Every structure is written in C-alpha cells, then in structure tokens.
Structure 1
Amino acid sequence: KPNFPDLQKIGVILFFLISGFLITYTTLRKANNEWYTFKEYYIERFSRIYIVYVPVLILIVFLDFYLFIYLAEPNVHNSYNALTFIYNLLMLQDAHSIIGGYTSFGTARILWTLAMFWWIYMLFGWLILGSRTVNKYFLYILILILFLFITILIGMGIR
C-alpha cells in the first residue's frame, strides 16, 4: 500500500484553505467600514452554518433512532443522547475531556470539522473586529483568550 494520505483528509484540508482565504478576504474588505463589527460577522457566520447544521442534526436524530431501534446498531448508542446533542449544537463536540469530552452526535463523526472551523472563525473574527465591539481592552483580551482556549480544546480532543 502506498504511503498516501486518505482522500477525505485532503478534502478537509482543501476546504479549510479555500474557506480561510474567502473568509479572510471578505472580512478584511468589510472591516474597512466602521459599522462592521464582530456582531455582524457573527450573524453572518451563524446564519451560513447553523441554517444547515441544525436541520442536519435533527435529521441525524431520526436516522440514528432508526439505526438503533430497528437495526440494533450498537455503535450509535454511545453518542446518541441529549447531552451529546447539546454539545454538538454548541459546536463543542470532540473537545478535550476537560469540558466533557463529548464526541460528534450519533453517526455523524465528520461533524468534528465543523466545531474546529466554527471556533477558528470566531477566533479570527474576534482578532480582527473584537476591538470595535467592546470598549474595554481587558474584555477584548478576555474573550480572545476564551476563543483561543476553546479552539485549542477542540484541537486537543480530535482523535
């Protein structure tokens, strides 16, 4: 077998790079306007991601229920619970065990990528726009550290 990375890993990396370039370009372009703050950035990211993410999570609830109940698939049961669903809804899936260590919900193992993307987006947006959003430098640094901490925990939890 040749020593070649899995194609899905290459796909995730390419998506991450393209997404990063596009987010950076649009954010820096919009940052020229004083009205563009972290609040607007957050609303844009939230509406683009969560409008698809929440229905997908709900679909997984029903599909995995079918797998677990009717097909007796044992691997679904461990991550098919309300707390794991909430962690996924908050984009905290696969975070380090310090904050629970809950995995991706049900059979949707690939959702770990969304958590990583989400927190990197939040960290980047806050770095660029956070100082416009809050008047206190201390609060800016505190929220920056929080976003960085969560991003690191997600990264440490990925297996």
Structure 2
Amino acid sequence: MKPRQRRLLWVLAGLVLVSSAVALVLRALNSNVMFFYSPSQVQSGSVPHGAAFRLGGLVEQGSLQRSADGLLLKFVVTDEVQRVPVQYRGLLPDLFREGKGVVVSGKLASEGYFHATEVLAKHDENYMPPEAAHALKSAADKAADKAAEKGGRP
C-alpha cells in the first residue's frame, strides 16, 4: 500500500470515529431533553405521547390528597383555564403549597393523569419559573378573549 493510500485510510477512519462520537452525543442529549407544557397544551393534545416532559402551573386549591401511608399524592395542576390531575409517589418539597406555582416532570399516563417523577416548587413569594409564568399569562389572555367574544354576541 502506498503512503498516500495509507494516509487516506487513516483520514477516513478518523472521520468515521468522529461522526460516530457526534451521533452518540446527540442521541444522549436528545434523550435527556424535557420540554415544558402548560395544562392547556396538555388538554389540547399537543404533547408527545409516551415521552417525558415538564408540566407547570398552579396547584389547585383543595386538590391535594394523600394516601394512608402519605407517600402517594394526588393533586391538580391548573393554568386557570384547564386542569391536569397529577399523581406523585414520594416526598414533596417543603415549599409545595396549594395555590402556588409548581413544575412537575414525568409522563402522561393512559388513564388520563400525569405520572410525576419529580416535583419542583417555587423558592420564594416572587419567583415563578418563566415557562410557568408565560403559560399562565397565555391562558389568562385566551380566557379574556373568550369572555370578550361571548360578551360581544347578541
């Protein structure tokens, strides 16, 4: 084999290794990406089926239910327009409260509820995750538009 052919073979082998490494990194990153959705988006069906995602909004007042052992929790996340029931097994953060902002990670179950694997609560009175604040504002704008539409009809 001539030196030129040997050099070309090494370059091609290097390209194959680099492209394989890039493909593996992109695949790992893609499997760890979690998108954020509001309860209105979940109820409209615009969420990926079977994929993990984050759901954010407010914990509905009076919706928190605990099992006898205290580890299975059920509550409702709302954006003040739509509601999504959530089930979570584990301990809640100390700052978790009804009527306060929350972001939960998990998957939508076939039974119609959101199966949460992680619950994140806001850390002070003034903070709300930007995605949750935007989702609540969008939902409020849609509700106001619907109310104005109904009020404008004879």
Q: TM-score over 0.5 for the alignment? A: no
Q: Specify which structure has the higher proportion of strand.
A: 2
Higher helix share: 1
* Bigger relative contact order (CA 8 A; separation at least 6): 1
Q: Which has the larger radius of gyration?
A: 2
Structure 2 length as normaliser, TM-score? 0.28
